[in-house]
Structure 1
């Protein structure tokens, strides 16, 4: 089993400044980081210029893999297009490789036929925006029952329908994969994997939400190790990015130690 390549999403420690976050990744021997546009007082939201964030990453010695994320991307409109252009400009200027695309997740746009048409329309609109800036769009299906894009197969079919194989990849999120209950993996179409675990023994799968998502450990109920092993066995060689949302992780005084323990446990489990 080849060694997995790990990355860090800023959600691991959202209270850290960009510099401290980059230094955390570097201290763990990691090269790739994901920055976010939904963290108050941090980088994008506080108006820090992209060139400044890029200079910080270069100075610390990490790469910005993605900006996470263009929300409601499959509800395409002039307003969404404007938002996509601004975020894509920032992603290009910060030196990111990709922009994560998150679908509508409020119970709307779910009807059969409607959701596929909405998805294709959004991908068609996004394709030239991404092409002009040399970016990849990472489409992230969410497993929540209210989500307008739960199926990776549906995402792949839409990407192929718009001739977007060079411009779009999937995010395989281990949490959302478990919730969606879709057995198929699409390693060749996968650009990034988000990893997090759920250890609460009492929560049902349909009731699992972001605050349940902790670092992957021996008590994990989502089958992270099995999912990672299957992806690697089927040829996936990209990064596995830690993306926990649980407050008990985000408020850790020593996140480096916790992430290191998780990485060690995953490596041992994959042997």
Structure 2
């Protein structure tokens, strides 16, 4: 006897969610409150499979060699191209999905004319009971939105509810991190921007004052003395890393008691923040 088909989540066809669509659907003001309520319920049922990595041959290495020598002891140089697979799935029947993230790294792409990004990232979403593919998502945008949401979630859980001053260290491309902290802590009424390039810091502070919602009672400024600004801040968000060996950007001893430190972007020991 044939088994009854498990309930299917939707009759909609397979869809692709590109960057503009994801940013519209998963804006920080929606995503952060969702994670605050969603994670306590579903996080215990989410299983992450260890990442798999593969080296991909370079096209130049795939050409047939005309040499007949078989005694050479030299080995081909390792290919800079790689594929990584990241998989997770839910064991909760009310959340019947699993996903596979596929990341390619091709170091020669920026040298092409026109240049291509060195990294490409796609996430595929499936229905757990049937394995039916449901959607593909722009992985770069999804990863960026995740970083923003996790920063906001951490601020909600770890920063003081009375936090008023936010110090942001970085550039305008990470402006949504400021939004994330303001969503987590509506009490923030002073935002200070620091960048070694004071002109960029000044311009970014002005940009924030014009784009941030409900900012009529918020002071936007930029700092020239980073150490002094660190001592003033209730929340320090650093989305940059030091290019000087063993010299961090944020000196922990300068943080005021109870301050929350949010470090974003570093993934190696050398990338001091």
TM-score by length of 1: 0.26
| Higher normalized strand content (fraction of residues) | 2
Choose 1 or 2 for highest CA Rg: 2
| Higher normalized helix content (fraction of residues) | 1
Higher relative contact order (CA 8 A, sep 6+): 1
TM-score by length of 2: 0.26
